[in-house]
Amino acid sequence: MPLSAPTLEELDLAGKRVLVRVDFNVPRDENGAIRDDTRIRAALPTLRAILEAGGRPICLTHLGRPGGEVREELRVDAVGERLAELSGTVVVKLDESFGEAVQQGIAQAPPGSIVLLENVRFNPGETRGDPELAARYAELGDLFVNDAFGSSHRPHASVSGIAAYLPSAAGRLLQSEIEAFARVLDNPDRPLLAILGGAKVSDKLQVIDNLIERVDALLVGGGMAYTFLAAQGHGIGASLFEEERVEVCRQALEKAEQRGVELLLPLDHVIAERCAEDAPTRTSGLEIPEGQMALDIGPRTRALFAERIAGVATLVWNGPMGVFEMEPFRSGTLAVARAVAACPGYTVVGGGDSVAAVQEFGLAEKVSHVSTGGGASLELLEGKELPGIACLGRV
Ligand code: ADP
Ligand code: MG
């Protein structure tokens, strides 16, 4: 199934009440103040497009994990205030997310304003994907737009339920994510390269399996590389190791070989006795000595990976090459990030930590697409259909 969804342009927005599922689940400090409003900014193109077309946007979002009950500290009032500042538009924040009072509040909202409903996870049926609840949301609008890419892998009532009742489409943010991953996963320009890293093989089993079927080459670094190296019979010392995944790694190596996919593992490593900022480090060759942990890829591997990255038409990167959070083990991830930034092909980075790394290095602008959803992007790379995308445009 190719990855696609109807877009805003396919909806007749003029005069319509448009329910928009956004992801305003912003990081907050201990006092509940917003620490980072990137997610609010990310929804502005969609909200502006709806307003410009004469539509009346009504936003639904979750915030935190209230677990199906009202939690005062998780009300979305502060989010609404920030949305008003950023959009320069009146925001009418309502204290519930469905029902008669909400319908009235929407009817009374001034033209050109944005309505923001209360935290949808106050409703017990939200995370269960309750169709009754989705129907109650649907009563509030004429159209539905999903723009919450970061939640689109969750079959929740406000994410994938409303489209059963209303004509629907992807918002601008979701559309840009869909286009980026489609460019990697469906008919990519070749050669197509995937770079995989991160902590564990077990977190990425399906990603590995799915990508081997699609890519021309696969670079593996990070903690997961050592179970692969162990599967090849190499000494990995005290590096991260998942014994119960050795067989899966063997199968992946075999599958890559059968399909003519070049699978490259680290040739050298940055090693230390412990994983700490102040741990003395050394570079080792392929074999890792007893008692030593490999915590980053070594200089030869960095050069090899950078050289491969330079020559591809399309690439996708998920997972850091080492423990990049600590200064002594960040060179590998930095080298890969620089190579990705310099790559003239189409480049996509997805995954919570990999995206954080690219942003921290100040290189996000040089990547063709930096995904806004860690879990959702991982599921796309696993080859899964996301409920928040699959539901769109069906009525
Ligand atoms: P993403 O969020 O991009 O999908 P993951 O969550 O899979 O990435 O992995 C990120 C984590 O992997 C980081 O916290 C990093 O410290 C850890 N990691 C990377 N390389 C190693 C390694 N060699 N040993 C232990 N942990 C590692
Ligand atoms: Mg992560």
Which helix (DSSP H) or strand (DSSP E) does residue 251 occupy?
helix 246-259
**In DSSP terms, which residues pair with 144 in a beta bridge?**
19, 168
Mutation to probe ligand 1, out of 292, 349, 353 (largest number of atoms < 8 A from CB) = 353
Domain with CATH 3.40.50.1260 in the chain: 8-174+386-390, 190-344
Summarize pLDDT for 135-144 with one digit per residue, the tens: 999 999 999 9
Sheet containing 56-60: order of strands: 91-93, 114-116, 56-60, 17-21, 143-146, 168-170
Catalytic residue among 39, 56, 82, 204: 39
Whether 285 is a known active-site residue: answer no
Q: Structure pTM?
A: 0.95
Q: Please give the class, per CATH, of domain 190-344.
A: alpha beta
CATH superfamily of 8-174+386-390: Phosphoglycerate kinase, N-terminal domain (3.40.50.1260)
The predicted pLDDT at position 394 comes to 65
Confidence band for 2, pLDDT divided at 50, 70 and 90:
confident
Q: Are 280 and 237 in contact (CB under 8 A)?
A: no
**Could you report the per-residue pLDDT of 285-331, keeping only the tens digit for each?**
999 999 999 999 999 999 999 999 999 999 999 999 999 999 999 99
Establish whether 200 is a catalytic residue: yes
Residues within 6 Å of ligand 1 by CB: 198-199, 203, 222-223, 240, 294-295, 318-320, 322-323, 325, 351-354, 374
